[in-house]
Amino acid sequence: MEASESVVHALYKNDQATEAFIDHNLTILASYTTLLKLVPAGTDIFTKTELSRFHQFPKNRPDIYLRTSDGNEAIIILAHDSQSFITRKRLTEIITHSEDDGWDSNYPGIGFVLKDDRAKYSFLHTAHKQLDDLGIDETELTVLATTLEALHSGKKLIWSSAFAAKQFVSLVE
């Protein structure tokens, strides 16, 4: 069987995976299958591992990347098991990437999946303040958030914007 040394090395380390790491990856898988049902037909969905061959993403790749057949794009970060300062740090990294490195076209929408409504609204408040301080408006960079429960509810309108936290929108059309 042909396999690169890095793949074999990663498999060798599998016995050292923590319970939290395994749970996070199972949540990514469940979210992936849920998103398959919610996005338009013909949408490409990539996981973090699949994104390693692309170079336009931030250093810490998103958990899931969506690209619809008509060109709408979104990156999704599952932060349901992260502390709030780590989630804010990920947002800062993505904002910096969008400003410095850019994208071939418009920067994809950014969706954060958080553990509950409290974490979601706190994140959206912080995101709005950060974007506002940098002079970035909603047309330049779309930052959305939802909860893990809402994501798996099967509804399409579960995402709230940093600029309108009480309204619900779709991640991609």
Q: What is the pLDDT of residues 45-101, one digit of tens each?
A: 999 888 888 888 888 899 999 999 988 999 999 999 999 999 999 999 999 999 887
Distance CA 74, CA 60 (A): 15
- Give whole-number Cα distances, 8 to 3, 14, 63, in Å: 7, 10, 22
- Report the predicted TM-score, pTM, of the whole model to 2 decimal places: 0.87
Work out the pLDDT band at 13, boundaries 50, 70, 90.
Answer: low
The H or E element containing residue 14 is none
For 154-172, what is each residue's pLDDT tens digit? 898 999 999 999 999 988 8
